[in-house]
Amino acid sequence: MKQIIWKGYWDFEKEEKWLNELASKGLALSDYSWCRYAFEETDPGKYEYRIELLGELPKHPESQSYIRFLEDNGVECVATYMRWAYLRMEKTSGGFELYTDKASQLKHYTKVFKFWKTLFTMEVIVMLFNLVAGLLIWRLAEGNHSLINVNTICAFILTPIVIIYYKLGVPIRRRLRALKQDVIIHE
């Protein structure tokens, strides 16, 4: 029987933990699209899940080659969304880890941080563009305070979104900083 759960995650580690909790209860992820998880019933604890940010889009030859490499090593790519890959492997005594050392973890978190930073920068640019355009239109209207334009409204809507987005990036930055310190200590 198929079960659909609508849920949003920002932190991929929390999402992984949740997927593994459901897998331990007998629900195996079968598909994913924006905030929509499809599960099928399976033996409890059969699979272990990992989520990875690919270097390129899933259809890119590099990503396809990497996914084939994982599949050759017993890892199944259940779903992809944007550059995120939802991976699973049948549970073994050794566990399923994509990044077993601090250096590879640091590389992955750096990739995740750059992805977040790119999206954050685009949000800030759009917000600032709308703010400046709105102020220019207001100025050209010679201070007519009754004139409310679309750009000003967009800037006011985007400002709290930018602030929230910035705060959502805090755990990524903290984890990246901690990994950098660990790598320095272990060198």
Distance CA 80, CA 33 (A): 8
Q: What is the value of pTM for the model shown?
A: 0.82
**Could you tell me whether strands 27-33 and 36-41 are parallel, antiparallel, or unpaired per DSSP bridges?**
antiparallel
pLDDT of residue 147: 58
Calculate the average pLDDT of the chain.
91
CA distance 9 to 31: 16
Torsion of CA 8, 82, 40, 76, to 10 degrees: -130
Query: Does the pLDDT value for residue 101 go beyond 90?
Result: no
186 pLDDT more than 70: yes
Q: 112-146 pLDDT, tens per residue?
A: 999 999 999 999 999 999 999 888 887 787 766 65
* pLDDT at 149 (0 to 100): 80
* Cα–Cα distance for residue pair 15/157, rounded to 1 Å: 28
pLDDT at residue 150, as a whole number: 85
pLDDT at 80 > cutoff 80: yes
pLDDT at 141: 75
pLDDT tens-digit map of 47-64: 999 999 999 999 999 999
CB atoms inside a 10 Å sphere around CB 152: 17
Instruction: State pLDDT tens for residues 138-184.
Output: 778 776 665 568 888 899 999 999 999 999 999 999 999 999 998 88
Tens of pLDDT, residue by residue over 5-14, are 999 998 899 9
Instruction: Name residue 161's amino acid.
Output: I
Give me the residue spans of the domains in the chain.
2-90, 102-186
Distance CA 130, CA 146 (A): 18
Q: Please give the single-letter amino acid code of residue 63.
A: S
Planar angle of CA 59, 64, 70, nearest 5 degrees:
140
